[in-house]
Amino acid sequence: MNRIVVLFCIVLGLSSCASKFQKILKNKDTDFKVKMAEKYFEEKKYGNAQQLFESVIPFVKGTARYEELYLKFANSYYLDKDYENAENLFKTFVEYFPSSVKREEVEYMRAYTYYKRSPKAELDQTTTNRTIQLMQSFINGYPTSPKVKEATEVIDASRAKLELKDYKTATLYFNLALYRSAAISYGLLSDGYPDSKNADQYKLLTIKAYYKFAENSFVDKQKERFEKVIAEYNDFMDRYSDSPLLPEVKKIKTQTDNFLKNIK
């Protein structure tokens, strides 16, 4: 019985709160609604704050508080983790207030909403690519900003995710015995991320994949394809002659030479 009473009180309380909010929302006093919107914002009741901000924005347009309230409106979505709507409002803020002293901050936050929406590496990386574009645009536009360091770190983290996605794709090809596709993908990784700590590993995997591709080819195609392994080996030596992976690369070179000796 006590549990039922407690539940009834909770429902009654929620109903009362909803009723109270609806009265505030329907109130014709703009100043009062602005005050309540800011109160809900401070209390982290962002859903309520958003509704009130949206209802008063048309009435404060052109006033001294327009910019401030519009930014709080945008921030309420960001703090509520609704990054898609936050991005749209940050973008609109810059369009509405191009001379605002908050423009630098808002442009950074707009770019950051894409970073917050960036999914795990296995999924589509459109938002990750957009993060890089916007953060680079921010750096170009505000080269002396204290946010440049953070923007650069976000770009690095985003590129690392793209690199991981490409690596996973190439490895999937290799595991499925699609060795030519794997070799091309690993090669693109090696060329696309030359400063990566794993660049020599990607080149090694390129050589391995081309070796497997040649090994599993029809005899009349093997000579040409093993020669591609040699070409990749030579490229590895030019780029990474001091790599700790060198013994493994040389082993594949020796195996390739032995195959070529036996191919007429």
Give, for all 264 residues of the chain, the pLDDT tens digit.
455 443 444 444 444 556 788 888 888 899 999 999 999 999 999 999 999 999 999 999 999 999 999 999 999 999 999 999 999 999 999 999 999 999 999 999 999 999 999 999 999 999 999 999 999 999 999 999 999 999 999 999 999 999 999 999 999 999 999 999 999 999 999 999 999 999 999 999 999 999 999 999 999 999 999 999 999 999 999 999 999 999 999 999 999 999 998 876
CA of 253: how far to CAs of 93, 190, 229, in Å?
59, 19, 8
Residues 92 and 76 sit within 8 Å (Cβ to Cβ): no
Structure tokens at 175: 């595991």
Helix (H/G/I), strand (E/B), else coil: 19: helix
What is the pLDDT at residue 18?
62
Residue 205 CB contacts under 8 Å (≥ 6 apart), including other chains:
170, 174, 182, 186
Residues 78 and 46 sit within 8 Å (Cβ to Cβ): no
How is the chain split into domains, by residue range?
177-264
What is the pLDDT at residue 147?
98
Residue 68: count of CB within 10 angstroms of its CB: 15
Gap between the Cα atoms of 227 and 259, Å rounded: 10
User: Which residue, among 133, 76, 91, 87, has the nearest Cα to 113 in the 3D structure?
Assistant: 87
Unique residue bearing structure tokens 């973008």: 91
What is the pLDDT at residue 50?
97
Residues 186 and 170 sit within 8 Å (Cβ to Cβ): yes
Instruction: Check residue 263 and give left, alpha or beta (phi > 0: left; psi -120 to 50: alpha).
Output: beta
What is the pLDDT at residue 20?
86
What is the pLDDT at residue 148?
98
User: Model-level pTM?
Assistant: 0.86
First vs last C-alpha separation in the chain: 91
Residues 226 and 217 sit within 8 Å (Cβ to Cβ): no
Burial of 91 (0-12, 13-18, 19+ CB in 10 A): middle
User: Which residue, among 61, 65, 33, has the nearest Cα to 49 in the 3D structure?
Assistant: 33
CA 8 to chain centre: 45
